[in-house]
Amino acid sequence: MGLYSQTPSFRYEDPEYSMLQGINKFEATHVFTQDSGYRYDIDINATFLLGSPIEPVKVFSENEYAGRLWEVESTRLEQSDWWRNSTVELTGNGVHYGDFIWLENNSDFKMLDNTAIYRIYGTITPLTLDEAFEVLSQRPEDLICNSIEDCSEFNRNEHLNTNLGIWMTRSDG
């Protein structure tokens, strides 16, 4: 990417919190990830990317190569240290990173105090970065809910056979 655009590129230095480190070090407004030629697996780790303080913008692809442009989201960035130091209790199969939880069907989680769900993505397939990125960037109408108000009506029991991607935010409470 750096050679093609004649723009200096940054390779992550901290494998544990690489996205935050890179964003903070360069006061980045956008991040580019790619499916090949990466240093750590974060460029293709859907849970990590979807739980980082970035929002999907556009996919660039040519032949077998794909790259994704993400925009840094200021509220998520401000809350990222809090989420990084928080542990969400999961029941069943799932994973938590940052403000994102992936729940496999028939799994659930316990909300943390003073948090709210603001987005839910549902699918019957396993989590794939391609599909989630496309829904978030091009088809937000396919989300189960896309605001704190809409998501407040969500009932997990009505979606037990669905895999869910859930984003949360801290709330004043």
Helices (H), 27-140: 46-50, 74-84, 129-138
Model pTM? 0.88
**From CA 98, how far away is CA 167, in angstroms rounded?**
9
Could you tell me which of 7, 136, 139, 149 has the C-alpha nearest to residue 73?
136
Q: Where are the domains of the chain?
A: 2-75, 86-170
Looking at the DSSP bridge assignments, the partners of residue 168 are 117
**From CA 51, how far away is CA 168, in angstroms rounded?**
10
- pLDDT tens, per residue, the chain with 173 residues: 343 444 555 666 666 677 888 888 888 899 888 876 655 556 557 888 899 999 999 999 888 888 889 999 999 999 999 998 999 999 999 999 999 999 999 999 999 999 999 999 999 999 998 999 999 999 999 999 999 999 999 999 999 899 999 999 998 75
